[in-house]
Amino acid sequence: MYKVFIDNKSIIFTKKVKNSYVAKNELVLEYSNNLNLIEEFGKLKTKTEIENLIVLVKEDIENVFDRFLSNFKVLEAGGGLVKNENDKYLLIFRYGKWDLPKGKTEKGEDIESTALREVEEETSLKGAKIDSKLPDTYHYYEHKGKSIVKKTSWFLMFASSKDQHLIPQLIEDIQKVEWMTKGQVQEVLKTSYRSIIELVDMFFDNSVEG
C-alpha cells in the first residue's frame, strides 16, 4: 500500500479496499489509466466533502504509484523520531504544530546523512545515531505554481540528552524543541499533521515499550 497526504486528506493505493476505508466521505476508484486517476485526484483536492481517494489497483501497485508520481516534481527528505536514555522523544514546534525534525536532501547526500543532519540543525542535538528504518511518508503540496510530492524517509534514532542544550533553529521558524514522554507525544500530536500522527501511532503500536 502507498499513501500520499494532501494536508489532512489522502490518496491511498491498495490491492484491496478495507472496510475501514469505506465511508461517505471517501471515493473509490478502480484504476484503469493515469489520466482518469489524475482527474479523480483533482476532485480530492478541490471537493471539501471528500477526505480520501482509494485507488484499487489490480496490476503491479508499485508501477501504478510510480506513474502517479511522474506527474509531479518529487523531492527527497529525511527525518527522525529520536529517543533518549529516559524513554523520551524529541519534538519541535513550528507553524503552530508539534512535529518531528526533518528536511530536504542536499546534493550528493545519502538519505541517512540527511536525516541526521536535519535533526542536529533543527534541534542542536548532537550524537544521534540511527537505530532502524521507519515507514516513508509522502506529502503533496503546491509551491509557486508547481505540484510537488515530498517523500520523507524516517528513521528511529537514539541520542543521550545528558549535557545537551537544545536550541530551536529559528531561521527555519522552529520556536521550541522539547523532550516528551510517550503520553505527552500522543497528546500534543492530536492537532499535528495527519502524516506525523499516523507515523508515530504506527511506531507506538508496534513498539514493545509499555
- The count of other CB atoms within 10 Å of the CB of residue 122 is 26
In this prediction, residues 134-160 reach a mean pLDDT of 96
Q: Where would I find the beta strands (DSSP E) of the chain?
A: 2-6, 9-14, 26-30, 52-56, 73-83, 89-94, 97-99, 102-104, 129-133, 137-143, 146-158, 174-180
In this prediction, residues 156-175 reach a mean pLDDT of 95
* Beta pairing partners, 137: 152
CA distance 94 to 81: 16
Q: 73-206 architecture in CATH?
A: Alpha-Beta Complex (3.90)
pLDDT of residue 114: 98
DSSP string covering 57-101: -SS-HHHHHHHHHTTSEEEEEEEEEEE-TTS-EEEEEETTEEE--
Given a cut of 60, whether residue 209 has pLDDT beyond it is no
In this prediction, residues 2-24 reach a mean pLDDT of 80
Q: Where in the chain is the domain with CATH 3.90.79.10?
A: 73-206
CA atoms within 13 A on the CB side of 112: 8
Q: Which residue is listed with cell 508501477?
A: 63
CA atoms within 13 A on the CB side of 6: 19
Given a cut of 80, whether residue 175 has pLDDT beyond it is yes
**What are φ and ψ of residue 140, in 5° steps?**
-95, 140
- The count of other CB atoms within 10 Å of the CB of residue 7 is 12
Query: What tens digit of pLDDT does each residue of 46-77 get?
Result: 998 999 999 999 999 999 999 999 999 999 99
Given a cut of 90, whether residue 173 has pLDDT beyond it is yes
The model's confidence at residue 147, banded by pLDDT at 50, 70 and 90, is very high
Given a cut of 60, whether residue 210 has pLDDT beyond it is no
pLDDT of residue 19: 55
Instruction: Name which of 126, 134, 127 is nearest 167 in CA terms.
Output: 126
pLDDT of residue 45: 92
Given a cut of 70, whether residue 18 has pLDDT beyond it is no
